[in-house]
Amino acid sequence: MSWQPEPPARTEDDKPHYTAGVPVVEVDTAAFEEIEKAAIAGHRWWTVAELVTTLDVVRPTGLPGLPASLPKDGPPIRRSW
């Protein structure tokens, strides 16, 4: 018998994240599944200043600096946060 360690769990920082421009800022939660309804208490849009200065945990961890880099670097294809 041999012991195999569990593979590391995926974290929010290594999951894919996407950037998109949207014409409407209303979030439609009508199609949420029960687990989503139970897990998500609310939503709101953040300004860049709010992201940079918040003491809240923001995922992915590199998100607050991303808006400043977009005009210069464009959207990341795959970024190591």
Residue 36: phi and psi, rounded to 5, are -70, -40
- Label residues 4-13 b or e (16+ Cβ within 10 Å = b): eeeeeeeeee
Element (H, E) at 35: helix 34-39
Tokens of residue 75, six digits: 């959207």
Q: For the chain, 81 residues long, give each residue's pLDDT as a single digit of tens.
A: 445 455 555 555 566 766 667 777 788 899 999 999 999 888 888 888 898 899 988 877 788 888 788 778 877 666 555
pLDDT at position 78 is 60
